Amino acid sequence: MNRPNVLLFIMDDQTSQTIGALGNPHISTPSLDALVGAGCWLRPYTTVPVCQPARAELLTGRNAFQNGCRWFGEPMDPEITLLPQALADAGYHCCHVGKWHNEGHPREKGYHETWRVFPNDLAEPYIGHWQAYRENGKIVIGHSTELFCEATTEFLHRATTTQPWFCYCALLSPHDPRTAPEPWKSMYDRRPPPLPPNYMPEHPFDNGDMMIRDERLAGFPRRQEEVLRHRADYYAMISHHDHSIGQVLHALDQTGQRDNTLVVFTSDHGLAVGCHGLMGKENLYEHSARVPLILQGPGIPVGKRCDECLCGHYDLMPTLMEYLGVEAPTTSQGLSYMPVLRGEIPTVRQTLCAAYRDCMRMARDGRFKMIYYPHIGRTQLFDTLSDPDETNDRMTSWRSHPESRCVPPSLSPTQQSCPPDPDPGRSAPPNNSFAGAHPVFNPAYEPAVRPAEVEAIIQRLRSTLAAWQEENNDPVRAS
């Protein structure tokens, strides 16, 4: 039998919190739910959470600071062997469908065939998801999700069983403008998804890029009804592409190739859509910098969740190479997480860093996560185990030092003193006749992480970030 085929789906803007089987009861994703149940689940980070750099990390096996693409318009280092080139060298027939968004054309990057490449092959100017492409002397028109999944299905029916293949299906969904066709368009009208637990009307401070394009998709402050409408449309797009992906997987079954195909589902980055008062992906909170990753196929554990595994987009290439029994290119610097999938270790990395332009830097370990904002000298610290929604910044001074700073004025001799309220946590005095039946107990606030511990954690993560910045020649340095 040939080496396994690889069918890789990559979404555009899908956060890791939008799959029903992974704890979101408000969204309908039956196809992805089935993949999760039959495969393995991880949540990698993208070093720079915007489209082009994120996709470059998948293609190169190197982080954005090492592959040349840290922002839009920056080309990948031509000396780096890309994923399709490495697989083509190993005897794979490589096909690209859908969004490209990096420099050049995918046919120049190792793919043997390409179909409906966005934006390169558009037959008409881009105005949204309803698109037209020239193909075999005619124009094909439709919703981008359906056009791309249809082309992938056609490829599966043509694919030979005598040569392994790699198909990279890159959808534009759920990126705005969020215009799913019916019946998905109105799917969440009657029961819209709730506001996220970290919803805020506005971000609590200027993060350095508050007026980038995505943040202007909604007004300031973020009105609840407007955020709910955005989230309903966002969920509709995801449910729509879940249905289309299901049709592709059905074709994989029909053609008898499912048992020898590794299916990979991921996204370039996530999205805020109201979380933390933000709308876009241009931040380093979990909802934006972390992505879903599902692996399902021969030899992959069934129903396994690897939540403890710290890994990045750039680790996917070496993982695929090890899984397929192909030597990873020497230009790849990622780490394979196959040992995690086999249950040998819980994680491939003890720490991980990320960045956004010159205004944000992140460092985290298995529990704590620091975000540093160089423009304003501000630092946030989150305990990702007890606070996965990042609502409790441990660096907020009054939380880490809960004693009162108010000094009451001295009383004059003629003033009578008034006894203070009992301290939080104090029970009713013993001579209170109601104490037995109605004890008084106000739980006292205690910081979950003591000030001295917070300082030690911050120093450790700052050292981690500084070492990463030095290694990657980052022009921004943590103070």
Strand partners, 118: 99
pLDDT of residue 414: 65
Query: How far, CA to CA in Å, does 165 sit from each of 1, 161, 162, 339?
Result: 13, 9, 10, 24
Mean pLDDT value across residues 345-367 = 97
Write out the two tokens for 424.
């939080």
Q: How far is CA 422 from the centre of its chain?
A: 46
Per-residue model confidence (pLDDT) at position 307: 86
Q: What is the pLDDT of residues 116-143, one digit of tens each?
A: 999 999 999 999 999 999 998 899 999 9
CB 389 within 8 A of CB 196: yes
Confidence of residue 418 (pLDDT cuts 50, 70, 90): low
Longest dimension (CA), the chain: 100
Task: Return phi, psi of residue 443, to 5°.
Answer: -55, 130
pLDDT tens by residue, 10-20: 999 999 999 99
| Alpha-carbon separation of residue 30 from 26, 183, 262 (angstroms) | 12, 15, 19
Cα–Cα distances in Å, from 409 out to 224, 406, 415, 422?
43, 9, 12, 19
Alpha-carbon torsion, ordered 44, 355, 84, 13, to 10 deg: 60
Give CA angle at 115 (111, 118), nearest 5°. Answer: 100
- Report pTM: 0.92
User: How far is residue 66's CA from residue 472's CA, in Å, rounded to a whole number?
Assistant: 7
Question: What DSSP letter does each residue of 110-150 carry, written as one string?
Answer: T-SEEEEEETTTBSS---SSEEEEEETTEEEEEEHHHHHHH
Question: What is the rounded CA–CA span in Å between residue 81 and residue 317?
Answer: 11
Which residues fall within 8 angstroms of residue 327, CB to CB, at 6 or more apart? 321
Stretch (H or E) spanning 396: none
| 440 pLDDT tier (thresholds 50, 70, 90) | low
d(CA 318, CA 60): 10
Average pLDDT, the chain: 92
Q: Are strands 130-135 and 5-11 parallel, antiparallel or unpaired?
A: unpaired
Per-residue model confidence (pLDDT) at position 449: 77
- Give the residue-averaged pLDDT of 349-360: 97
Distance CA 213, CA 224 (A): 20
58-113 pLDDT, tens digit per residue, is 999 999 999 999 998 899 999 999 999 999 999 999 999 999 989 999 999 999 99
Q: Which pLDDT score, from 0 to 100, does residue 397 have?
A: 76
Asked if residues 171 and 12 have their Cβ atoms less than 8 Å apart, the reply is yes
The more confidently predicted of residues 419 and 254 is 254
Task: Summarize the confidence of residues 469-474 as an average pLDDT.
Answer: 95
Domain-wise residue ranges, the chain: 5-349, 358-407+436-479
pLDDT at res. 430: 54
d(Cα 161, Cα 401) in Å, to the nearest integer? 65
Q: How many CB atoms lie within 10 A of CB 429?
A: 9
Predicted confidence (pLDDT) at residue 436 exceeds the cutoff of 60: no
Going by C-alpha positions, the residue among 132, 6, 49, 82 that lies closest to residue 332 is: 82
Which CATH architecture describes the domain 5-349? 3-Layer(aba) Sandwich (3.40)
Residue in 234, 247, 56 with CA at minimum distance from that of residue 151: 247
- What gap in Å lies between CA 431 and CA 219, rounded to an integer? 57
Residue 438 predicted with pLDDT over 60 = no
